[in-house]
């Protein structure tokens, strides 16, 4: 048998190589189309995606606490860390709020006075202002619990680029799907950063103490 390829053999090998390359390129194109479609669908339906939250240009809200109406402007001059959730949340909310609390405990009195942590419930039917005040107290970080009407809460979520879905079809012990970011609002009332779920106490502490961030 000759160790040299004939012209016919070389031609067949080239055809096989071209066929393989065509299949690879076609596969990559299909994969790209699938990923593009998935990304588009995710961006439309995931509670945490938005094109550009209007809160970056300024945020305003007035909600209910157990002591009466509270507005964002009441905290002018402070940095506000705002979280959307609900008190019956089994894991996401307690985890995030617990991490905030662990960081808060390490602050000096002066550092604590420079920030305000706010928990906004998107489940007003169950989370009364009184219940929210009790819930906020569990975390020992001077957190303020607020809620409002469905219209007010949807407007706030939209401004933050967030969303929530109350699953009342589940019955009495229904769940609420919600964005799980902690929103940092500067002293001028503008959203400047979003911390994802799972942000560690160390990272929250660094943010608390970084007064240069405006």
Q: What is the CATH number of the domain that holds 76?
A: 3.40.30.10
Tell me, yes or no, whether 155 lies in a domain: yes
Residue 121 near residue 145, CB atoms below 8 Å: yes
**Residue 38 — φ and ψ, nearest 5°?**
-65, -45
Reported as a single tens digit per residue, the pLDDT across 125-171 is 999 999 999 999 999 999 999 999 999 999 999 999 999 999 999 99
pLDDT at residue number 2: 46
CA torsion 184-86-135-124 (nearest 10°) is 110
Q: What is the mean pLDDT of residues 59-88?
A: 96
Do 20 and 65 belong together in one domain?
Answer: no
Residue 8 domain boundaries: 1-45
Do 38 and 64 belong together in one domain?
Answer: no
Do 39 and 59 belong together in one domain?
Answer: no
Do 62 and 148 belong together in one domain?
Answer: yes
- What are the structure tokens assigned to 138, written together? 């569990």
Do 39 and 61 belong together in one domain?
Answer: no
Tell me, yes or no, whether 59 lies in a domain: yes
Say how many domains are in the chain.
2
Do 141 and 189 belong together in one domain?
Answer: yes
Tell me, yes or no, whether 214 lies in a domain: no
Show contacts of 24-31: CB within 8 Å, 24+ apart.
Answer: none
Tell me, yes or no, whether 83 lies in a domain: yes
Pairing relationship of beta strands 191-195 and 182-185 according to DSSP bridges: antiparallel
- What are the structure tokens assigned to 35, written together? 């990923």
Tell me, yes or no, whether 129 lies in a domain: yes
Do 167 and 103 belong together in one domain?
Answer: yes
DSSP 142-206: --EEEB--HHHHHHHHHHHT--EEE-GGG-TT--EEE--PEEEE-TTS-EEEEEPTT--HHHHHH
Distance CA 176, CA 88 (A): 9
Distance CA 129, CA 92 (A): 21
Model confidence at 84: pLDDT above 90: yes
Tell me, yes or no, whether 78 lies in a domain: yes
Tell me, yes or no, whether 163 lies in a domain: yes
Lowest-pLDDT choice from 14-23, 105-114, 200-209: 14-23
Please state, rounded to an integer, the average pLDDT across all residues of the chain: 84
Do 174 and 71 belong together in one domain?
Answer: yes
Number of helices (H), then strands (E), belonging to the chain: the values are 6, 9
Do 92 and 185 belong together in one domain?
Answer: yes
The H or E element that residue 18 is part of is: helix 7-45
Tell me, yes or no, whether 205 lies in a domain: yes
Give, in degrees to the nearest 5, the angle at Cα 66 between 117 and 132: 55
**What is the pTM (predicted TM-score) of this model?**
0.76
The more confident residue out of 119 and 14 is: 119
Do 69 and 165 belong together in one domain?
Answer: yes
């Amino acid at each position: 048998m000759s160790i040299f390829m004939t012209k016919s053999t070389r031609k067949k090998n080239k055809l096989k190589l071209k066929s393989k390359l065509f299949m690879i390129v076609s596969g990559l194109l299909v994969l790209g189309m699938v990923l593009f479609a998935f990304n588009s669908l995710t961006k439309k339906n995931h509670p945490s995606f938005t094109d550009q939250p209007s809160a970056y240009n300024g945020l305003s809200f007035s909600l209910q606490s157990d002591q009466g109406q509270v507005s964002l402007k009441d905290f002018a001059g402070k940095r506000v860390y705002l979280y959307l959730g609900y008190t019956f949340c089994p894991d996401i909310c307690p985890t995030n709020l617990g991490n905030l609390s662990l960081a808060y405990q390490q602050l000096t009195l002066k550092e604590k006075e420079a920030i305000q942590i706010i928990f906004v419930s998107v489940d007003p039917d169950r989370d009364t202002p009184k219940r929210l005040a009790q819930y906020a107290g569990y975390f020992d970080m001077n957190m303020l619990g607020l809620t409002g009407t469905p219209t007010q809460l949807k407007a706030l979520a939209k401004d933050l680029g967030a969303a929530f879905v109350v699953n009342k079809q589940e019955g009495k012990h229904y769940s609420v799907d919600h964005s799980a970011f902690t929103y940092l609002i500067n002293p001028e009332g503008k959203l400047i950063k979003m911390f994802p779920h799972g942000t560690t106490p160390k990272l929250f502490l660094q943010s608390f103490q970084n007064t240069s961030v405006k």
